[in-house]
Structure 1
Amino acid sequence: MATRPARNKPPPDREVSDGGLFSARGSIVTHATAFTPAAVAVTPALVVGPTLTDDGYQALRSYARTVADQAGVLATFASHDDYRVTDFSAIYVAPLEWDADDTAPLVLIAEALAAGVPVHVPQDPADAMACELCEMTITVYVEPGHRGDVLCGQDRFLDLSCAHCGEGADHDDYMEVVEADETWVFVHKGCVAEGRRVHGPDAFVTD
């Protein structure tokens, strides 16, 4: 279970150990290179919502995983307002309530609108779609494919690169969605097993 950071403050600096980049909680992010948007095939999306309470933070974290699963994008859940919104492909607004003094999501939405970064508000349940391959119900905005097809994140896995080894996916080693430094990323199942074998069972956070 992730721990909510201090109010509207960036997470602590990450440390490099044993050739891998670790988050402040000790979760391995990549093996040989720093985890940056350039290290993987997909630019992260930023998911905004409540940050001031533990329950709100956990709900935001959970919704960010839904965005990663369904949209096939890296999904950072915004625990503070100190982000450069232009570093993200889009802003997803979580369908959650937050207190009036919880200003971080409003600040980020305003900055994104001013910068021309797409802002995806929660969809009406009537607008839910089904993945054309697996029929998963998709409740978040998904960019249609070049043929107009709608695919969930799990069926877009061949377009992704592993955040651990940097290599692409294949049919013999599917991707899992794991958390690294407040971002849900995609990692080969084999890399998850290797990371846990080398660094312990908490090397990748999956729930």
Structure 2
Amino acid sequence: MAHASTPVLVLGNTSTPADVEHLRHVAWNIAYEMGAPAVFATHTDYRVTDFAAVYLANDLEAMVDAPTVVLLGEALLAGIDVHDPLTADEAVTCDCGLIHHYTRPHIDAEGVVWCAECREESACAWCFQWNDVEELTIVEQGDAFVPLHAGCAAGPRPATSRSVLPIAA
């Protein structure tokens, strides 16, 4: 798994307001489950290589939007990991109680589920300090949901500070 501050891209249908709302819902949940920024794609102006992985908000057969198909194709050609949505039967619970509805957590050889928090891979996207996901606030910034400490989310930002999303240029 990539560093917790490395964003992931969430693809889904965007033809209707209901489609966009579903895409946003899935992206928020992925940010929460992973403790990492999740960008929801509503257009094709993304470089898929800027993301640690791509998550699909819809089954592959249900992907009908041209922007979604274009970005999915680019991700596959670039060798970016693409993750299908979990089915209801695939949802798993970590020993800490976090239920994974959208992301596949690490499962060790003994079958123990390890979420990003338990693996200490959940971090504030601003200060990069590890934290319990319940203590992180998921903040919407443009087309992304970003996990931040409450203090980092509320604190002033100098004009010269870096972006919260550490996307390579």
Q: Which runs of 5+ in 2 are unaligned?
A: 157-169
Deviations 1:106-142 (A, max 9, x none): 11111111110011011222121111212x3212233
Q: 1:189 aligns with which of 142, 150, 160?
A: 150
Worse-matched range after superposition: 109-118 or 87-96: 87-96
Say whether residues 1:74 and 2:37 are aligned partners.
Answer: yes
Q: 1 or 2 for the larger relative contact order (CA 8 Å, sep ≥6)?
A: 2
**CA–CA distance in 2 between the matches of 1:187 and 1:41?**
11
Matches within 5 A, 1:32-181: 41-95=4-58, 100=64, 102-134=65-97, 136-144=98-106, 149-153=112-116, 155-156=117-118, 158-164=120-126, 166-170=127-131, 174-181=135-142
Change (3 A) 1:105 1:174: same
Cα distance in 1 between the residues matched to 2:63 and 2:108: 40
Using the size of structure 2 for normalisation, the TM-score is 0.74
Q: Report sequence identity in percent.
A: 35
SS at match of 2:138: strand
Q: Secondary structure at the match of 2:113?
A: coil
Q: SS at the partner of 1:178?
A: strand
Q: Which runs of 4+ in 1 moved over 4 A?
A: 96-99, 145-149
1:75-109 Cα shifts (integer Å, max 9, x gaps): 00001012111111111010378684x21111111
Measured against aligned partners, the alpha-carbon deviations of 1:51-76 in whole angstroms (never above 9, x if no partner) come to: 23222111111110111112232100
How far apart in 1 are the matches of 2:118 and 2:66? Answer: 34
Deviation at 1:43, TM superposition (A): 1.1
> Could you list the runs of 5+ residues in structure 1 that have no partner in the other structure?
1-39, 196-207
Question: Which one-letter code corresponds to 1:118 in the other structure?
Answer: D
1:109 alignment partner, SS class? helix
Q: Verify the 8 A CA contact 1:177 1:187 in the aligned structure 2.
A: yes
